[in-house]
Chain A
Amino acid sequence: DIQMTQSPSTLSASVGDRVTITCRASQSISSWLAWYQQKPGKAPKLLIYKASSLESGVPSRFSGSGSGTEFTLTISSLQPDDFATYYCQQYISWTFGQGTKVEIK
């Protein structure tokens, strides 16, 4: 099975900060990676697919990069609505990372 490891597990940041979350795959997944945002009590929301494609309606401050085994999600200027938990998911065999909670500093 392909394991996905996200870092950090928790991130404290302020509004306006540039934030980067990393996701590593245990083997190459090409660009078959997605990023989701989840808020408490809500279903996940797709942000990025195929590693770097921005989902329709998602603000351009979100971006994704990487291929193979190393991927990043970047929020260029953190907004109040962005405090949430973020998950990566590889979609060769569908496993998720353990999540990164973005908290207010």
Chain B
Amino acid sequence: EVQLVESGGGLVQPGGSLRLSCAASGFTVSSNYMSWVRQAPGKGLEWVSVIYSGGSTYYADSVKGRFTISRDNSKNTLYLQMNSLRAEDTAVYYCAISSHSTAFDIWGQGTMVTVSS
């Protein structure tokens, strides 16, 4: 069974950093594309970043230059390094993969990031 488990969320001050992890089981993180999607409290879904099997990465304009997506194939884990955090980055962060369709067919349970002083 394919499963994704996020971790690393928490409370951080504005300007601070946080690294989110997404551990995959039943699936190889390097075999297809994986993404981070976030949802601010009471708001809709916002795509954040994607990494393709070949290693290409793309970011939403709202996080470009501050966030970095990466993966560790040996640990079968996806990461999101978040720097220069702002109040508007407060959200539940989900990792998602395309395991058999062309869209995001498997999602993690989400991890909450709160940016506040």
Interface residues of A (CB under 8 A from B): 1, 32, 34, 36, 38, 43-46, 49-50, 53, 55-56, 85, 87, 89, 91, 93-99
Interface residues of B (CB under 8 A from A): 35, 37, 44-47, 50, 58, 60-61, 94, 96, 100-105, 107-110
Contact of A55 among B58, B60, B61, B101 (CB under 8 A): B101
Question: A34 to chain B: which residues have CB within 8 Å?
Answer: 101-104
Question: A1 to chain B: which residues have CB within 8 Å?
Answer: 61
Contact count A vs B, C-beta below 8 Å = 61
Asked whether B44 lies within 8 Å of A43 as measured between CB atoms, the reply is no
Give chain B nearest CB distance to A101 CB in angstroms: 10
Given the known interface contacts A1-B61, A43-B94, A44-B94, the answer about A96 and B46 at a Cβ–Cβ threshold of 8 Å is yes
Given the known interface contacts A87-B45, A96-B45, A98-B44, the answer about A46 and B50 at a Cβ–Cβ threshold of 8 Å is no
Given the known interface contacts A43-B94, A43-B110, A94-B50, the answer about A55 and B105 at a Cβ–Cβ threshold of 8 Å is yes
